[in-house]
C-alpha cells in the first residue's frame, strides 16, 4: 500500500517507530523519551517542563499518547506522526 502526503504525493517507505514510541510513552513518559524518538524536540521539552511543574501529574499525557500510538496501524502512525508531524495526541 502506497502512503500519500497531504498533497497526494507518494511518500518513500520508512520504518515505523510506533511500538518503540508507544512503549516509551507508557513506561518513561515523565522523561518524554517518546517525543524525542519521533523528533519532536520542542514538544519533548514542553512535556518535561509540564511534568516538573505539576509534580508528575502531566505524565498522564504521554501514557495516553502511548496507548494511542499502539492502537494505530503502522501506515496510519507513519502518516500521522512521522510524516505530518502531529505533535500532540
What's the DSSP call for residue 29? G
Is the pLDDT at 12 greater than 70, yes or no?
no
pLDDT tens per residue across span 20-57: 999 999 999 999 999 999 999 999 999 999 999 999 99
User: Which pLDDT score, from 0 to 100, does residue 37 have?
Assistant: 93
User: Which pLDDT score, from 0 to 100, does residue 13 have?
Assistant: 66
User: Which pLDDT score, from 0 to 100, does residue 4 have?
Assistant: 66
> Bridge-partner residues for 10, per DSSP?
4
- Please give the residue that has the higher pLDDT: either 82 or 89: 82
Residues 38/21, Cβ–Cβ less than 8 Å: yes
What's the DSSP call for residue 4? B
Cell of 51: 511534568
Amino acid at each position: 500500500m502506497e502512503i500519500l502526503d497531504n498533497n497526494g504525493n507518494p511518500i518513500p517507505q520508512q520504518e515505523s517507530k510506533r511500538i518503540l514510541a508507544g512503549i516509551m510513552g507508557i513506561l518513561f513518559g515523565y522523561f518524554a523519551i517518546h517525543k524525542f524518538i519521533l523528533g519532536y524536540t520542542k514538544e519533548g521539552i514542553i512535556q518535561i517542563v509540564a511534568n516538573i511543574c505539576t509534580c508528575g501529574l502531566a505524565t498522564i499525557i504521554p501514557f495516553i499518547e502511548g496507548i494511542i500510538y499502539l492502537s494505530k496501524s503502522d501506515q496510519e502512525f507513519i502518516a500521522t506522526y512521522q510524516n505530518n508531524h502531529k505533535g500532540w495526541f
